[in-house]
Structure 1
Amino acid sequence: MKNALKTIALAAAIGLAAISGAAAEQVRVGFAAEPYPPFTSPDASGNWEGWEVDFMKAVCAEAKLDCVITPVAWDGIIPALTSNKIDMIIGSMSITPERLQTIDFSDKYYNTPTAVMGPKGVDFDATPEGLKGKTIGVQVATIHQVYANKYFGENGATVKEYQTQDEANNDLAAGRIDAVQADSIALKAFLDSEQGAACCEMKGNVKDDPEILGLGVGVGLRKGDTALKDKINAAIKAIRANGTYDEFSKKYFDFDIYGG
């Protein structure tokens, strides 16, 4: 009887170990804690949706990871990663030499131009000459803040910083600033809204500077976390190859957001 009980107990232990071993690794995914359509935004119930949410779900399913969305203020998202409060960042974060000094990145998962938006009927372009004497809004702690300070602020424009892109867009719509700079897709989402369509228009893409604007958007990772990086890179490659990436992207875009 004792031997039988020992056998049952051993079998149960092995079964529990197998279940535990089969459980997906939990990963805390840092998202910026503000709407950034069409990439991320909370619905009326507070559930996150958008292109990057679909991207996260596809990558995590492919990599067999249990990914938990963890909203973090954008200007604190890299410190949250380096202090182990989150495990990776999926938040339209561009891969730049400056950021690579502090964190690591996965392979690129999309790449779109940077643009300037301004009021309808006011003629200027997205150049230092076109923005001279104007006030341009940017989100703080972004590549757009760095770019605007260098190319526009040093050439006669005033660069005004905002905690969120929504705040900058609202000030533009209200006539409190003359222009905003951001990712072209994020600006297009605003222009597709009732508020944006009524007030504003694209003024053009800025001249590229890979040292500031980066080489595309990647998943932010802690330096040395090579196992997770390898899983994410393999998953990005897989969903690109098997059609999953194109399938969910069609819900949001009529072009290839992966870019060149």
Structure 2
Amino acid sequence: MVHMFLPLIPENGPAKDFFRRAISAGRLSHAYLLIGPDVEASRRFAQELSKVFYCAEGRACGACAACAQIEHSNHSSVNFYGPQEGKAVVDIDCIRALCERTHYRSSGLEVAVLEGAELMTEPAANALLKTLEEPPGSALLLLIAQSTGALLRTIVSRCHRVYLRGREDLGPPIPASAQEALARVLEPGFYAQADVKGWLGHAFPDEEGVRPALRRLLHGVVLEWRGRLAGLEGGAMDDALRRLAAFLEMRSDLDRNVSPDLVLERLFRTLRRGV
């Protein structure tokens, strides 16, 4: 049965194994924070995971009546929440509806999935925090976020964090030249060398200029850090996520024409000391 758990999701093996073990051992937490760059992949994972608790075969078979109901969003015990149409945030009305539903008297498990958790307004986040601090016994909360940077740390700390890989993570491996460059920049004292920008041009000779070469290096750093997340938990994952968020911000800064010198300095400071 192990190899058939969540059969409709071929990727994210570590996350699947984690939930399989937790469910088998009866050690499921009341709240999980599903973190990953691919929103659609995270939503799909949450949907398939929800099926496990109602599936006739206990594995999200995708063929039974309960799986079909969840697939078509009409299962009474599985509800999805997120920004309302036309809004860019998750407001307090959305969280109130979620909290009221999870506190319903029910003979079985209630599953609530919150999409775009990092988009919660402050009042919404505080309302959710109360439910996380005093969780109802028959509810499972699945929060979906691309990163933890905009979430209250108290919310993050009260959820078990699980990283989900996205399509970008599952793409081609980092080229050998980029791997060598990544290993080089991690060496102690590397940034103190005389000509970092010259080295960058040598490491990526097919790129014209410092900015595209630096962006390519950052892309490799992002993929490297995402690859490390699968085996991390707790504080180690939180630290890696903070670094990853910083690397993604640097990549965006380059696209906004921030000076490559400033981005380089922050990159090496982050690699050496953390965010």
Same fold (TM over 0.5): no
Higher relative contact order (CA 8 A, sep 6+): 1
Q: TM-score, normalised by structure 1?
A: 0.28
TM-score (norm 2): 0.26
Q: Relative to total residues, which structure has the larger helix share, 1 or 2?
A: 2
Q: Radius of gyration: which is bigger?
A: 1
